[in-house]
Chains A and B, each alone.
Chain A
């Protein structure tokens, strides 16, 4: 059976690089499920959850904003954050969310506001992944 090569790369590291059966990506217009032999596509992705299916098992990752390039045999996600579900520290993410929300309610420059909302999106994505898969 055909597989997809999924690559998730952040500025700090290559987080994920494996052959998988299917991947679900949070696109700007909603979730996209990608199977092998997909038509070539380039899209923006928003912070959220990436679901990976491999050998009948599902894995989850939290990712930040970025881009995705899809070809028949490959999915490449470029993002500013990628954390595997098991590595997410819920307490830390929650703290980060609170800090970012507080900061956003203050008066800050556009530049800083953009950075803080990116940080907020990161923590929300992490919390979302963690909460959905608890228990």
Chain B
């Protein structure tokens, strides 16, 4: 049976923890709003670019851009995007469980400290580590994307995938593995599991697109930009997921701590009353014995 002092001490420590988690929840909530806005604002651009590429890449005739060619080395690279810090619920463990399923020969490119630690711990083939800030910048995304593109263009890997936590809503985030390179069989992006509508009338009789000034120049500019931007958008999504997951995890932690404090306080008061009753009994029985 713990003494009242023990319980008092525990209540105090739980209260401290609750204060910390509450503060983290507030911080995450404000960062979450910003990250979610950024992720959602970038979506139309990515979707439209995806739509354009889908239409264009199917109809360029014989032209092959280096980013569209397939190699055959039997190896793939994966860009894993995790958070830097933990305390975000199951976010990183879900993500890294997916990473663990990948082939042993896979070349890892990591962004975020948790992913780097994972690659080091499981002795994976780590090619590069990148970092990104709370509000990812395009320059950070470009650095990652450039590295991946060079790796691919040198013919060291067959293709590059990207593993990140897709943002659906504040409560739902899921890890997703998305092929990034080569840009041959592009998949339409989906939003809330609905395919972005493609206009059937555009797909009709018109067989080929005209390019101005020519196909090499346009695709030469468009394709690398698409990859860069895709990485950027994915960083934004991953950030939105991270902040949402942390907010929810910290809210749960705060709620649990509050419940625990309530239970402990009840126990403390019971014990205190029991002690008082016991003392009273002792005094009265002593007084009775004296008389």
Contacts and interface: CB of A to CB of B under 8 A. Distances in A.
A41 B211 CA distance: 6
Contacts of A43: 211-213, 218
Interface in A90-111: 111
A89 interface: no
B202 A72 contact: yes
B221 A9 contact: no
Interface in A29-64: 29, 32, 39-44
Interface stretch (B16-24, B47-55, B112-120, B272-280): B47-55
Interface stretch (B37-45, B103-111, B176-184): B37-45
A115 B139 CA distance: 10
Contacts of A39: 206, 210
Contacts of A40: 202, 206, 208-210
B48 A11 contact: no
B209 A10 contact: no
A67 B52 contact: yes
A32 B48 CA distance: 21
B229 interface: yes
B217 interface: yes
Nearest to A73: B201
Given A27-B212, A28-B212, A44 B48 contact: no
B60 to A, nearest CB: 9
A72 B201 CA distance: 9
Contact of A42 (B139, B199, B218): B218
B44 A9 contact: yes
Nearest to B202: A71
Most buried by A among B44, B49, B199, B206: B44
B34 to A, nearest CB: 13
A1 interface: no
A67 B221 contact: yes
Contact of B211 (A10, A13, A42): A42
A41 B209 contact: yes
Contacts, number: 83
Nearest to B49: A78
Nearest to A41: B210
Nearest to B236: A11
B56 interface: yes
Interface string A73-86: 11010100000000
B202 A74 contact: yes
Given A7-B48, A11-B42, A28-B212, A42 B221 contact: no
Contacts of B199: 71, 73-74
B93 to A, nearest CB: 31
B222 interface: yes
A29 to B, nearest CB: 6
B201 A44 contact: no
Given A72-B202, A74-B202, A14 B44 contact: yes
Contacts of A18: none
Interface string B152-180: 00000000000000000000000000000
Given A67-B218, A72-B206, 19 more contacts: A10-B45, A29-B212, A29-B213, A39-B210, A40-B208, A40-B209, A41-B212, A43-B211, A43-B212, A43-B213, A44-B217, A67-B49, A67-B221, A71-B55, A72-B201, A73-B201, A73-B202, A78-B48, A111-B139
Leading 7 A-B pairs by shortest Cβ distance: A43-B212, A69-B52, A41-B210, A14-B44, A40-B209, A71-B202, A9-B45
